[in-house]
Structure 1
Amino acid sequence: MPLAIRAFLVPLIVACAMFMESVDANIIVTALPSMARDFGSDPVALKIGIISYVMGLGVFIPVCGWFADRFGARTIFRTAIGIFVVGSLMCAASRSLDTFSLARFIQGVGGAMMVPVGRIIIFRVVPKAEFVRAMNYLSMPALLAPAVAPLLGGFITTYLHWRLIFFINVPVGILGIYLTNKHIVNSHEPHPGPLDWVGFLLSAVGASALLLGLSLIDGQLVSARTAIELCVVGALLLVLYVLYAQRAARPLLDLAFLRIPTYRASVLGGSMFRIGLGAVPFLLPLSLQEGLGMSAFQSGAITCASAFGGMFMRSLTSTVLRRYGFRTVLIYNAVFAGIAIAACGTFVPGMPVWLIWVIVLFGGFFPALQFTSLNSMIYADIDSRDAGRATSLGSVVQQMSLGLGVTVAGIVLQISRAAHGHSHIMWSDFWPAFAAVGLFSFGSIPITRRLSANAGDEIARGARG
């Protein structure tokens, strides 16, 4: 297959998996209030369904690079799609919050291998000068999901039943497996070395326990003491991992990659931004449905505006990066993205729907530029032989940041509700949560300011639209 065709086709195939995962994520948050009623739970408690997915990611992302190197990227990629589809069917059959959370965990296992391994496949096929172009090919189909999913999920939830939304993944998953078998080469590293099982257990259990403890600290599902104990255990295991990784010859999550300036800015600086980004899909549908009394379909018709803003910005990303470079874009756009996220907390009863729609539109515009820039820069100074290991560390931090965003949003929302003395969530409870997660975007600036003016120039110069 000619290189130019492969650089176009392979990202689109990987995008099938990202489309499926993104549809699933955006439909679920639209249906959370309806699920809560069926499960007999508080809508905010449904955040555990989102967190359990991130836990599945956190447990298995660290080993996805090794498995891709050992057994071949194509083999792991198509297996991951199959696991994700099975988890989707289990979600549809769930009868309680516990079983739903377990099904979401299984979906997370599939997602842990699906998206990172897809990125490895793209990295090994596409030249660096074409990488931003390939990322845009990858992103555009995935961006359709946030535009379509809220409308589709809102319609199904309002007029049919939320369980039907999980069947959407089945045909997309089958198509993804077929295209993977037909067009993707089963590339792998000849000698990936032994798997670091000690590092796997320390990092996986530590990250999962910490995130789970934080998500349960409101005391709705377990006692606050149990949640705090989970946090302490998780934090101690992560500290042990850091000490272990400094001495291990080939640690599972190699913290030495953080010495690379572009990688450090993308992973650590990007993690601050992603806390706010991860909170918005959880907070926005809740604020529209529980706060303003909209139906799931009305909510979906508004939340899809964020995707349209993101699509428009993606078409400009290459030009913006070529003109200003990564450092300037990441510093100034972090401010715009944080303000855009926080602005979603200004919704009040009686506000014109068109004005809400415009605010949500800009809530997708600036974060999309930040998201694409961070994902493109992460590989700027990474060698091909290190792609799998670098992807593992980067993906763990990124996904945990998204999950932490949901956790922080839920905690602030509960505190705001308690402070106002509301027995049920009201519209006035949401603005502190949006403001809090929006501020995290500003936290990325001190890290990205340390980049050199020409950081990632090879990729930025290759951004030809």
Structure 2
Amino acid sequence: MSEPFTLTPRIARILPWLVAVAFFMQALDATILNTALPSMARSLDEDPLRMQAVVISYLLTVALLIPASGWIADRFGTRRVFLFAVFLFSLGSLFCALSPSLGVLVIARVVQGLGGALMMPVGRLVILRVYPRTELVRVLSFVTIPGLVGPLAGPTLGGWLVEYASWHWIFLINIPVGLLGMAFAMRLMPDLRGAGQARFDVPGFLLFGGSMLLITIALEGLGELHMPHVRVVLLLIGGLVLLAAYWLRALRIEAPLFPPSLFRTRTFAVGVLGNLFARLGSGALPFLTPLLLQVGLGFSPAKAGMSMIPLAGMAMAIKPLAKAILDFFGYRRLLVGNTLLLGALIASFGLIDQDTPHVWLLIHLGLLGAVNSLQFTAMNTLTLIDLRDDNASAGNSLLSVVMQLSIGLGVACAAALLGGFQADIEINAGDVLGAFHATYLSVGVMSMLAAAIFFQLSGEDGRTSQAPRRLEPDDGH
């Protein structure tokens, strides 16, 4: 059994910071490599086209392990698993920096992926179980900010480190942060476990994990790997078949990996499906926006990176207001309206060209950052807020799976649309911007369609309230 845990005022203040830092490490690492791959290829004497294995090995490891994260946390305790996850991530980062060859680097990325797959779900599970539901919006709005900033800062930071230091520092910067995180986790992270110790659903894990692997490869193949479409279709069909087999099995056994009964909670069902489709636009932004600024508008890497600051800044600025906004509008009205606004802001990038004043571009990016941040907070909180303690870990893990898939789906859709529009438009020196405009318009409209999912909520959904936990005094301030 886990030891009794008291949420003291000191821990209540510091714990979200610990989880937020872990989120940032994981989110940053998923994107920081992209701009450094050519430099890494030269250093390792490899073909740059083979370097995508460094990215894919990490993504596939995360996709495979995330489904098991809830059971692992319940079985071994959140403190032990979180510490082990940060340790693995930091150790993998060190191995990456010391790698003498591509093969060793790929293995090191797998080690990193093992840690990354556990850090995010276990951190959010602790928040869900420790804080009362009345505090969930406030705390999640804080810890989800790094998930927004990391992917957007990654390409810029990666390019800067490669230009002024070396690609090794992309991984070395994780080590002091990881060591500091472990030190704080040993003192602050609660050791929570599930009430029942159900046997691990090995066949279900193999079916679901295999499905996630195939679907992830297919999405990456459609997007950044540029696989032949026939291969992508075969992988996608294979993944969907395994997913259907898992679902049929889950309906007939007592303790599946993800119980179908989770979807009887309407807020969870709407939140998970809304997350998957509303994130199409958000997942595409880290891929599309740096390309638009540098390729479409001709910005230098430094100017493009500086132009992204309002997006991250406004994402953080809206954080303290998220709870008040949600309390005023309610989940249904806010998510329907905010989803439409988010899609419209993405689509309106189709109006930006070389004649657009830079100040207006910065304002546009700032508005997008605020709306995107509010969307993430509302969707994630809605998904988790009505879960019972006995199914919290399974529901949280499934949300993590959906978030991971939605990132790949957003990038895949954006890359496929951009490539398709470039092929359709007769490209010359000025027409490449037209392909970006058409892509942003399409992605924005697809994102807006997710409002139909959130429209299925009732006006009272998500307004779950429970008595706040009593904060015990401690020796801290």
TM-score, length-scaled by structure 2:
0.86
Matched letter for residue 182 of structure 2: I
Matched letter for residue 231 of structure 1: L
- 1:419 has 2:419 as partner: no
Partner Cα separation in structure 2 for residue 193 and residue 310 of structure 1 = 40
Task: Report Cα offsets for 1:380-425 as digits up to 9, x if no partner.
Answer: 2111122111111121122111111111111112212222355999
2:446 pairs, out of 418, 436, 440, with 440
Q: Partner of 2:194: helix, strand, or coil?
A: coil
1:430 equivalent in structure 2: 436
Task: Report Cα offsets for 1:117-175 as digits up to 9, x if no partner.
Answer: 01111122111222222223424566665686565444324433444222221111111
Q: Partner of 2:191: helix, strand, or coil?
A: coil
Q: Partner of 1:207: helix, strand, or coil?
A: helix
Contact 1:88–1:107 under 8 Å retained in 2: yes
Q: Partner of 1:180: helix, strand, or coil?
A: helix
Distance 1:27 1:271, change over 3 A: same
Distance 1:439 1:255, change over 3 A: farther
Partner Cα separation in structure 1 for residue 337 and residue 135 of structure 2 = 25
1:455 pairs, out of 461, 471, 474, with 461
Aligned pairs for 1:270-285 within 5 A: 270-285=275-290
2:473 equivalent in structure 1: none
1:333 pairs, out of 315, 323, 338, with 338
1:67 pairs, out of 66, 72, 95, with 72
1:27 pairs, out of 26, 32, 48, with 32
Distance 1:221 1:432, change over 3 A: closer
Partner Cα separation in structure 2 for residue 47 and residue 429 of structure 1 = 25
Partner Cα separation in structure 2 for residue 460 and residue 340 of structure 1 = 36
Matched letter for residue 434 of structure 1: Y
1:243 pairs, out of 242, 245, 248, with 248
2:129 equivalent in structure 1: 124
Q: CA deviation at 1:106?
A: 4.2
2:218 equivalent in structure 1: 213
Instruction: Please report the RMSD computed on the Cα atoms of aligned residues, expressed in angstroms.
Output: 3.1
Between 1:357-366 and 1:218-227, the stretch displaced more is: 218-227
Distance 1:18 1:312, change over 3 A: same
Matched letter for residue 414 of structure 2: A
Between 1:235-244 and 1:223-232, the stretch displaced more is: 223-232
Between 1:199-208 and 1:78-87, the stretch displaced more is: 78-87
Whichever of the two has the greater Rg, that structure is: 2
Partner Cα separation in structure 1 for residue 111 and residue 434 of structure 2 = 35
Between 1:279-288 and 1:433-442, the stretch displaced more is: 433-442
Task: Report Cα offsets for 1:292-327 as digits up to 9, x if no partner.
Answer: 333332221112221112112212111111111111
Contact 1:30–1:299 under 8 Å retained in 2: no
Partner Cα separation in structure 1 for residue 104 and residue 141 of structure 2 = 37
What percentage of aligned pairs have identical amino acids? 35
Q: CA deviation at 1:58?
A: 1.9
- Aligned residue pairs total 460
Distance 1:94 1:271, change over 3 A: farther
Q: Partner of 2:464: helix, strand, or coil?
A: helix
Distance 1:99 1:421, change over 3 A: farther
Q: CA deviation at 1:96?
A: 8.4
- 1:409 has 2:414 as partner: yes
Matched letter for residue 455 of structure 1: D
Matched letter for residue 397 of structure 1: V
Matched letter for residue 277 of structure 2: M
Matched letter for residue 8 of structure 1: R
TM-score, length-scaled by structure 1:
0.88
Q: Which runs of 5+ in 1 are unaligned?
A: none
Q: Partner of 2:460: helix, strand, or coil?
A: coil
Matched letter for residue 357 of structure 1: L
Aligned pairs for 1:226-375 within 5 A: 226-375=231-380
Matched letter for residue 458 of structure 1: T
Q: Which runs of 5+ in 2 are unaligned?
A: 1-5, 469-477
Distance 1:225 1:50, change over 3 A: same
Partner Cα separation in structure 2 for residue 311 and residue 251 of structure 1 = 38
- 1:182 has 2:187 as partner: yes
Contact 2:27–2:146 under 8 Å retained in 1: no
Matched letter for residue 454 of structure 2: T
Distance 1:205 1:144, change over 3 A: closer
Contact 1:19–1:141 under 8 Å retained in 2: yes
1:4 pairs, out of 6, 9, 24, with 9
Contact 1:322–1:461 under 8 Å retained in 2: no
Matched letter for residue 441 of structure 1: S
Q: CA deviation at 1:19?
A: 2.3
Partner Cα separation in structure 1 for residue 337 and residue 425 of structure 2 = 35
Contact 2:33–2:154 under 8 Å retained in 1: no
